[in-house]
Amino acid sequence: MVQKALFVCLGNICRSPIADAIFQHLLKERGIADQWEVDSAGIGGWHAGNRPDSRARNVLKKYNIEYNGRARQIEDEDFHEFDYIFGMDENNISNLQDQAPIGSKAKILLLGDYDPQGERIIRDPYYDRGSEGFEVCYQQCLRSCKAFLDQLEQ
């Protein structure tokens, strides 16, 4: 059975593409990519059609992780389609909970709740002047995605 995961942040050009790319990479490493459908989306649609922020692309390149996704805005249909919808911060979660249609199946989860180091909030690095925040975001997403998959495999 195919499981479906959607990673969501505010703009879909920084945090959620990083999480999406890492998750897909981990699935390939574990040989289970054919058991999953994975995507990302933004609460807002301001960047729809755009590639991720160059700093997000650079951190993925640094770790040899491929990503060809383009930004899109989340739609009501996604809540029926996906099994898991991960938000990056508390605002994402409350926006997702507000938008979720009654009776939709998606479990809305805070990705950082899976972080073994307990860093629950994946802070938005978009307005940072530098790229250090993207490295932090990468490491947080990596730890949480690994732990989420480990927990499913148990």
Q: Which residues of the chain form contacts with ligand 4NP (CB under 6 A)? A: 9-15, 46, 124, 126
Q: Which of 53, 78, 89, 124 is catalytic?
A: 124
| Cβ closest to ligand 4NP, residue 33 vs residue 121 | 121
CB-closest chain residue to ligand 4NP: 11
Q: How far is the CB of 45 from ligand 4NP (least distance, A)?
A: 10
* Catalytic residue flag (residue 14): no
Catalytic residue among 15, 78, 137, 141: 15
30 is catalytic: no
Contacts of residue 106, Cβ cutoff 8 Å, sequence gap at least 6: 6, 78, 79, 80, 81, 82, 83, 84, 85, 100
Is residue 73 within 8 Å of 48, Cβ to Cβ? Answer: yes
Q: Which residue, 24 or 40, has its beta carbon nearer to ligand 4NP?
A: 40
Rounded to a whole number of angstroms, the minimum distance from the CB of residue 61 to ligand 4NP is 17
Check 9, 14, 137, 141 and give the catalytic one.
9
In angstroms, rounded to a whole number, what is the distance separating the alpha carbons of residues 154 and 138?
24
Measure the CA–CA gap between 109 and 92, rounded to whole angstroms: 10
Which residues does 75 contact at the CB level (< 8 Å), separation at least 6?
A: 41
Backbone Cα Rg of the chain: 14
**Shortest separation between residue 123's beta carbon and ligand 4NP, angstroms:** 9
The minimum distance between CB 96 and ligand 4NP, in angstroms, equals 13
End-to-end CA distance of the chain: 17
Active-site residue flag, 124: yes
| Catalytic residue list | 9, 15, 124
